[in-house]
């Protein structure tokens, strides 16, 4: 009998006991690496969200039209603002954005920040990008020691051009009747002046660039008086029974058709309204000082004119509204330009009033101050 004894090496090769241990070990390492990668990716996303919030905060602050820290500087401390180049302004905006980001966990020396700035007539745009490298904990096991955290931000604040016309009631009832506001009794005219000036201050305070708001003032009683410079842009014939125009009293009547449109046709001939005294010192046409203040960007000119208003007699709200609407209508552009070229207005801007816009480029607003009684 021949016995065939198997060698120890052969038996080891065929032995399957404990083989699962190697598979489990490899699988565990892969699972641990996957979990570690997920942790790194989660840290990356948290860092990205944090950086995005920080950059958005800085970009929004820099884009504010009221933000002048980046464009004005008084290096000499003498109270005069120095003119900066576009490159200097852009660098200042970058520093401003970085300051607003300083409260976050990203340190400036680790951050690659790029800020660009553009500004047009009524808007400011800030574009910014920021990035830095985030060290990894587990991805470095497969050769990825850092993940780049990168975000972009964009902010734009615009300001529509606004044209305002204020029709202001200076009739007798504005003086003959009092109102009590916050415990103080005043005539309606006195209170209307306070409210009107507060409105003007508030509106012009929003024009941080100084060239978006224009305004005209239309005082009215029984008629509306226009200044001589504006009257020269119209064709005005003497009043019935008169041979020459009344000086310093420029009022005329409208036809019924005039009240069906906001337009003011400056080419047709109109008759000057007859001038006679109604009672005391009040005439059919408001006296000088109570006349229209043409389109201006000078807030003080409007508020000073409001302060100087005095009472007249009777109330034609419809005429005040007609003139205020006309001061917003492009048909008055010829008259405005004639006054501008003659140096009779402080506003050296052509093409005002602007064309009507359906895109929001210009907003036209009429404000009517009145006690509401049309006589």
Residue 14 confidence (pLDDT): 65
Distance linking the first and last C-alpha atoms of the chain:
143
How far apart, in whole angstroms, are the C-alpha atoms of residue 91 and residue 110?
18
Tokens 């900066």 sit at which residue? 84
Q: Would you place residue 19 in the very low, low, confident or very high pLDDT band (cuts 50, 70, 90)?
A: low
* SS3 (DSSP) at 83: coil
Q: Would you place residue 224 in the very low, low, confident or very high pLDDT band (cuts 50, 70, 90)?
A: very high
Task: Please give the average per-residue pLDDT across 94-100, as a whole number.
Answer: 87
Vertex 365 angle, CA 364 and 368, to 5°: 150
pLDDT at 239 over 60: yes
Give 233-300 as a DSSP string: TSEEEPPTT-SSPPTT---B---GGGGG-S---SSSEEEBPPP-EEETTEESSPPTTSS-EEEES-HH
Residue 150 confidence (pLDDT): 92
pLDDT at 218 over 80: yes
Task: Please give the average per-residue pLDDT across 17-23, as a whole number.
Answer: 63
Ramachandran class of 208: left when φ > 0, alpha when ψ lies in -120 to 50, beta otherwise: alpha
Output 150 or 229, whichever has higher pLDDT.
150
Residue 96 confidence (pLDDT): 87
Weakest mean pLDDT among 59-63, 66-70, 124-128, 258-262: 66-70
Q: Which residues contact 290 (CB under 8 A, 6 or more apart)?
A: 170, 219, 221, 225, 309, 310, 312
CA nearest neighbour of 51 among 106, 95, 90? 106
pLDDT at 360 over 90: no
pTM of the model: 0.62
How far apart, in whole angstroms, are the C-alpha atoms of residue 300 and residue 215?
11
Of all residues in the chain, the percent with pLDDT exceeding 90 is 27
Residue pair 70/96 in contact by the 8 Å Cβ criterion: yes
DSSP 175: H
């Amino acid at each position: 009998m021949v016995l065939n004894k198997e060698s120890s090496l052969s038996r080891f090769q065929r032995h399957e006991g404990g083989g699962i241990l190697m598979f489990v070990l490899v699988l565990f390492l892969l699972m641990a690496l996957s979990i570690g990668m997920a942790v790194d990716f989660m840290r990356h996303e948290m860092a990205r969200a944090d950086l995005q919030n920080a950059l958005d905060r800085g970009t929004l602050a820099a884009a504010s039209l009221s933000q002048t820290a980046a464009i004005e500087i008084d290096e000499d401390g003498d109270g005069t603002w120095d003119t900066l180049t576009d490159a200097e302004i852009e660098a200042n905006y970058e520093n401003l954005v970085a300051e607003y980001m300083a409260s976050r966990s990203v340190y400036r020396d680790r951050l690659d920040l790029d800020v660009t700035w553009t500004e047009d007539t009524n808007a400011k745009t800030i574009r910014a990008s920021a990035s830095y490298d985030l060290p990894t904990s587990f991805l470095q096991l497969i050769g990825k020691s850092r993940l780049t955290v990168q975000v972009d931000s964009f902010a734009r604040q615009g300001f529509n051009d606004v044209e305002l016309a204020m029709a202001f009631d200076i009739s007798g009832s504005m003086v003959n009747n009092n109102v009590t506001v916050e415990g103080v009794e005043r005539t309606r005219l006195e209170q209307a002046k306070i409210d009107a000036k507060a409105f003007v201050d508030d509106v012009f305070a929003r024009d941080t660039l100084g060239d978006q708001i224009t305004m005209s003032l239309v005082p009215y009683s029984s008629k509306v008086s226009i200044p001589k410079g504006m009257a020269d842009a119209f064709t005005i014939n003497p009043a019935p029974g008169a041979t020459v125009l009344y000086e310093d009293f420029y009022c005329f009547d409208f036809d019924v058709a005039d009240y069906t449109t906001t337009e003011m046709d400056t080419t047709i001939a109109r008759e000057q309204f007859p001038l006679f005294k109604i009672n005391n010192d009040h005439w059919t046409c408001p006296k000088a000082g109570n006349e229209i203040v043409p389109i201006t960007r000078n807030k003080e000119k409007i508020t000073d004119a409001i302060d100087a208003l005095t009472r007249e007699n009777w109330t034609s709200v419809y005429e005040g509204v007609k003139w205020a609407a006309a001061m917003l209508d492009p048909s008055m552009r010829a008259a405005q330009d004639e006054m501008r070229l003659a140096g009779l207005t402080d506003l050296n801007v052509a093409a005002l009033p602007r064309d009507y816009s359906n895109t929001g480029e210009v907003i036209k607003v009429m404000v009517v101050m009145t006690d509401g009684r049309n006589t």
